[in-house]
Structures are given as C-alpha cells and as structure tokens.
Amino acid sequence: MKLTPLTITTAGLLWLATLAGAYYYGKAHGTGTGDAPSSSALAGSGGAPVQGQGRHLPGAAPGTGGSAAGADSAKPPSVKAILAQMKEKMRGGGMQNPASMMKIMGLLDKIRREDIPEALTEAEAMTDPQQKMTVLMALLGKWAESDGPAAMKYAEEHSSGMGIMAQIGKASVAGAWAEKDPEAVWKWYKDQGDKDTGGVMGGNMVLASLFSSLAAKDPDAAFAKLQEIEGPGRSMALAGLFQSALFDAEKRESMLKKVDTLPDESERKQARQMMLGQWAMLAPEEATAWVASQPAKDQSELRETMGTMLMMSDPKKGAAFMIEGATEEEKPKRYAQAIGSWARMDTNAAGTWLSQQPQGPHLDDARQSFVGAASEKDPESAMAWAATITEESKRLSATTTAYNAWKKKDPAAADSALAKSGLSGEQINGIKAPAAGVKGQE
C-alpha cells in the first residue's frame, strides 16, 4: 500500500490514526468503473438493481451478480467476516496505533468494489462512532475514485443524524474524487452556495481535502482559487494547500514563496503555522530542523507551534524547544503553555521538570497552570506549589483551587494545610466562605 500525506485538520486529534488510515486507504485503493447505488436501501453483494431504479452495483455488469460463477475456485471472504475481523482489531486502543490501523486498512482492501453497498449498509448499523467513521471514510473514498458524484450524493443523503462523521465522509469523498477531477469537486463546492455543506466544520474539512488535491495537480491554480474563499474556510483551504508538500522540500519551499505573496501579514503567519503543525505531526525531526534554520526574528511563533506539537509525543523535548531562544518577555507564557498541557498528561514528570528550571517570578503562570492540573490528582502537592507563587493574586487563586479540590477528599487535612499556607486570616476566611456557603445550600 503506497501511503500519501494526510490532512491533519486539528492538532492532537484523538482520532489521528483513524483518520490517517481511512484517508490513506481511500486515496491508495479503488479501481474499475461502473455505477453505484445512491440510497441506503442497498442490495447485498449480488448484482440486482437497487429499489427498482435499474442501477447496478459498482463494477458489476448488469445481470452478472458481480462475478462469473466458477471463475475462481477460492471463495472471497464475506463482508460480514471482514468487518468482524476489523472490529476485533479496532478494540482496545487499536485505532490509535498506526501499525494496527494499517492492518485494519488491509482488511478493508479485501472488500470488492461490488460489495461496497453491502459494506456501507453494515457500516451504518455499527454502534461504535469511531469504528463507523473509519469504515465509512474508507468505503466512500474507494467509491469516489471511480464515481465521485455518486459517492458524494450518498454522503449528502446520509448526513442527517450522523454529526461530524457525515462531514468527515464528505471530506473523504472530496479528497478521493478530486484526485481525478478537482475541477468537478470545486464546481460542486461552489454550487452548494447557501446550501448545507455540513456546517462550519463539515464544509471546511471538505475544503481542506479539495485544496490538497488542487495543489498537488496545479499549485498556481489552487492559490488562485484561494482568493475566492472567505471566512473560516480560508484557513482550512490554506491547511489543505500544504498537504502535498509536506514531504517534498522543493514543493514546500515553492508553497512558502507563494504564501509570502499573500497581502495580509497575519494570514502569512497563520499559513506557516498550519504548514508546520501538519509537518510536525508527520515528520517531527524534519520540521524541528526547519524551524531552527529560520531567521531568529521568525522563530518565536514557529517554536511555539512546534513545541506544542512535540509535547504530544515527547513532552520534555517539546517544553525545552518552546523555551529555547525565548526572550525574557516570552518565557512566562511559554513555561505556562508547556506545563499546562504536560501536567495533565504526567503530573510528576511536569513537576520535576518545573522544579529544575531557573526559579523566579517568570514561573508564576506556570506554577498556577501546574496547580490547576494537579489539584484533582494530588491536591496536597498542588497546595505546596501554590505557596511558591510570588504574585499575591495568583497565589491566592491557586491556593483556592488546590484547597477546594483537597476539601472534597480530606476536609481536615485541607483546613490544616490552608492554615499553614502563609495567607492572612482574612484571605483564609475568604477562601473558606464560598465552600461553607455551598455546603449550607446542600
């Protein structure tokens, strides 16, 4: 299976592996020609017309049932059997494991084009949203490579009640369809006008897939079409533009030069950050080296973006990258950002790292972020950290957070620690008063 770069529409999506596998599958598979059904009342793997409309299954000649009897002595696995194997592999965190996702996509590859209608019907009956989304994306992407309009019609007709899954399905169709005919997808999108294209998120996801394919075929034309997009969709279109260039240094540089021609400075910065965010998820070492090679004046925001992405896989490395090169004015914010996300993943490691940094008022925001993250897990430690905050109002706020969390678990211990916190009697009474008021109302 030949894999190609994927749209990462949102950094840190819990469904990254799911989206990647399904989208790769849709782009890398699917052959042949033929019509496909357009309603949910689809026939099974045979070649019978759908609801009397005279339409036949994808890849099957009329009346053949999709295959010649006896053409192959080896009977292909049933759709139900394939999907049952997939469900088993998708349990227990398998959908967040790229290696497992590739195995899952390999199973989907066994579904023949003429069996897509039956598979879609089975997918619609799935109760697990994540599994359902994966299968629908893959099947619709495969179908769209041979009949984009029909696949999109199906996706549109099945939007009701499916929420974001339906919109992800449309994005999958748009990406696969645009591989062969991006102008047709562009026309479809423009023709929607004020129609429902899936809401803000749905329509924008379609734009990202569409502009990825447009840029892969003709970057100049893609940038020209960008001028016709306004609002939130423009940002997603920009994100899509970089997909085809993530692993191609020459194409990436060409894209960045085109970005430099955008008249709005904030949009230029946003475009670079979007490119880096996607690149960092897929090739962090290359992306890190690129950031370090940029002029010092341009590195500040890039390091913030890159560091945030690295935090997902290597918090210590990400935190260090965010702080490296930061000015004294930038350090309070950077430390707080690093600790805010890290402490929720691994409180002990984040606290150890924070204690090893040069101490001072510049860590107050980070200490407050740490207290907020640690209070539910370890309110005693959170209370101790709150006492290290130098700025009075922030120390009072953090202490209140830690105390309220501790009070729920051990009221006596929380009261004792609060009395030794170094706060004034008035401040201590102020912290206790709201808690007492709430208790009295229960």
pTM recorded for the entire structure: 0.57
Residue 278: its pLDDT value, please? Answer: 78
- pLDDT tens for residues 171-183? 788 888 888 888 8
Residue 64: its pLDDT value, please? Answer: 38
Work out the pLDDT band at 405, boundaries 50, 70, 90: very high
Q: For residue 228, give the nearest of 243, 213, 211 by alpha carbon.
A: 211
Number of residues assigned to the chain: 442
Query: Is the Cβ–Cβ distance between 18 and 128 less than 8 Å?
Result: no
Where is average pLDDT lowest: 116-120, 201-205, 433-437?
201-205
Work out the pLDDT band at 187, boundaries 50, 70, 90: confident
Mean pLDDT along residues 230-256:
80
- pLDDT tens for residues 316-353? 998 998 898 788 888 999 999 889 888 888 889 999 99
Spatial separation of the C-alpha atoms in residues 384 and 417, rounded to whole Å: 9
Query: Does pLDDT of 302 surpass 50?
Result: yes
Residue 28: its pLDDT value, please? Answer: 40
Mean pLDDT along residues 4-18:
31
Residue 9: its pLDDT value, please? Answer: 32
Residue 336: its pLDDT value, please? Answer: 92
Higher pLDDT, 118 or 106: 118
Spatial separation of the C-alpha atoms in residues 16 and 8, rounded to whole Å: 8
Residue 203: its pLDDT value, please? Answer: 52
- 42-51: long-range contacts, CB 8 A cutoff, minimum separation 24: 42/117, 42/118, 42/120, 42/121, 43/117, 43/118, 44/117, 44/118, 44/121, 45/78, 45/79, 45/112, 45/114, 45/115, 45/117, 45/118, 47/114, 50/117
Categorise residue 54: left if φ over 0, alpha if ψ from -120 to 50, beta otherwise: left
Spatial separation of the C-alpha atoms in residues 30 and 141, rounded to whole Å: 8
Give, in order, the Cα–Cα distances in Å from 360 to each of 80, 321, 365: 62, 20, 11
Mean pLDDT along residues 384-393:
93
Query: Is the Cβ–Cβ distance between 175 and 26 less than 8 Å?
Result: yes
Share of the chain above pLDDT 70, in %: 74
Q: Which burial class, exposed, middle or buried, applies to 191 when counting CB atoms under 10 A from its CB (0-12, 13-18, 19+)?
A: exposed
